[in-house]
């Protein structure tokens, strides 16, 4: 499979993400998939809530009440501390350049730990430094290819349910839109 073709008709974005591939000896059973889907949905909902921006309504341009500002400052502090504790505990894998869509993920491995084509497993992706757990997406390695400056690995997700796929699609869309807005701001 051609990696560029895979991403050409899907909403996606490229970023640096802490990422780890964990091969599995056997396919995940229905109970394991249900548990992963539940955890992933909770994580995607939490990240979405924390990334939520105010709408363009007139009320959103007003300054928040002092009580809300204090709560937001406390929440920011807690999230920063969680991120620091997680980073200090060495449980975050190294960051790699990755391209993410709701259907799959490609990354450029930094070491000689490239999984074999057709290998099944889970890819663990840390979406945010404040998130206490990674997104854990089951999938299958579909391709190795020289793509966009180096050898890349493509994993196509398998076993994620429709609700998680929809939440992941929304996450990817938000980041895709921000990347486009950022590139327009740099060129304009």
Where do the structural domains in the chain lie, given as residue ranges?
Answer: 3-51+66-181
- Residue 63 is predicted with a pLDDT of 58
pTM: 0.78
As a dihedral over the C-alpha atoms of residue 62, residue 68, residue 69, residue 71, rounded to 10 degrees, the angle is -160
With bands split at pLDDT 50, 70 and 90, how would you rate the model's confidence at 65?
confident
- Residue 172 near residue 99 (C-beta atoms within 8 A): no
pLDDT of 108 over the 50 cut: yes
pLDDT, mean over the chain: 83
Distance CA 168, CA 154 (A): 17
Token pair for residue 148? Answer: 């966009």
Distance CA 8, CA 147 (A): 13
21-25, 75-79, 123-127, 131-135: least confidently modelled range: 75-79
- Residue 80 is predicted with a pLDDT of 64
- Residue 188 is predicted with a pLDDT of 54
- Residue 124 is predicted with a pLDDT of 95
What mean pLDDT do residues 8-25 have?
Answer: 92
- Residue 50 is predicted with a pLDDT of 77
- Residue 6 near residue 99 (C-beta atoms within 8 A): no
- Residue 47 near residue 128 (C-beta atoms within 8 A): yes
Of residues 152 and 131, the one with the higher pLDDT is: 152
pLDDT of 165 over the 80 cut: yes
52-56, 118-122, 162-166, 184-188: least confidently modelled range: 52-56
Radius of gyration of the chain (CA): 18
pLDDT of 99 over the 90 cut: yes
Distance CA 138, CA 157 (A): 6
Q: Crossing angle of helices 162-187/30-51, nearest 10°?
A: 40
């Amino acid at each position: 499979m051609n990696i560029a073709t895979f991403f050409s008709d899907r909403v996606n974005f490229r970023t640096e993400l802490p990422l780890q591939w964990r091969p599995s000896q056997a396919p995940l059973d229905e109970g394991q998939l249900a548990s992963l889907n539940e955890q992933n949905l909770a994580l995607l909902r939490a990240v979405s809530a924390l990334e939520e921006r105010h709408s363009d309504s007139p009320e959103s341009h007003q300054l928040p009440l002092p009580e809300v500002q204090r709560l937001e400052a406390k929440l920011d502090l807690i999230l920063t501390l969680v991120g620091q504790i997680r980073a200090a505990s060495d449980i975050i894998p190294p960051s790699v350049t990755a391209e993410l869509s709701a259907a799959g993920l490609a990354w450029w491995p930094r070491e000689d730990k490239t999984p074999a084509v057709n290998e099944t497993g889970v890819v663990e992706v840390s979406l945010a430094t404040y998130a206490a757990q990674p997104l854990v997406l089951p999938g299958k390695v579909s391709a190795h290819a020289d793509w966009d400056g180096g050898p890349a690995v493509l994993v196509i997700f398998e076993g994620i349910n429709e609700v998680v796929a929809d939440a992941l699609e929304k996450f990817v869309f938000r980041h895709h839109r921000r990347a486009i807005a950022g590139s327009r701001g740099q060129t304009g």
